[in-house]
Amino acid sequence: ETIAVTRSRNIGITIILQSMSQLESKYDKKAQTIVDCCDSTLFLGGKSNSTNKEIAEMIGKQTINQLTYNESTGQSSSASKNMQIQGRDLIDAAEIAKMSRRKAILLIAGTNPLMDDKYDPHSHKRYCYIVDKRNPKRLHDQSFDFKAYMREAEAHKGA
């Protein structure tokens, strides 16, 4: 309900989940309403079969035209052609489960789904400013201490 109201007032909300079941366990039947109110879904990959099925369903189907041609020869030869139109998931839950960890799927309402490479933050020109012990190119060894900064700012204010 809150998400629908905020959306009607042009306010954006970002919901981050590891699995759709997290939403279902917390909100039960209202979980689907919450998902329905989200214009965009960014799927970064996951192991949950139910989530993978839901993502496959959200992506949709493609139409496949299957042409079958049968010919028999002999005393009474005959030939037949049959055209069938079938639907197939663009990507099924098993394919989603096997998706490379470097890939992401973006679903935006009113557009076709997009599968693309995830952005590699290591390639960003400002990555060196991230304080991470695993980052050999880091320029700083300590993260920003906001509380210490505020104490110092207050001390300078009084001086």
Residue 85 pairs with which residues in a beta bridge?
Answer: 65
Give the pLDDT confidence of 11-27 residue by residue, as tens digits: 877 888 888 888 899 98
Residue 33 lies in a domain: no
pLDDT, residue 53, reads 94
Residue 146 lies in a domain: yes
Helix, strand, or coil here: 89? strand
Residue 25 lies in a domain: no
Q: What is the domain count for the chain? A: 1
Helix, strand, or coil here: 26? helix
Q: Which residue is listed with tokens 């002999």? A: 74
Domain ranges, residue 124: 119-159
The pTM for the full model equals 0.67
Residue 42 lies in a domain: no
Residue 84 lies in a domain: no
Structure tokens at 85: 């139109």
Residue 97 lies in a domain: no
Segments of the chain scoring below 70 in pLDDT: 1, 159
Residue 131 lies in a domain: yes
Give the pLDDT confidence of 119-142 residue by residue, as tens digits: 988 888 888 777 777 777 777 777
Do residues 106 and 38 lie in contact, with contact meaning Cβ atoms separated by under 8 Å? no
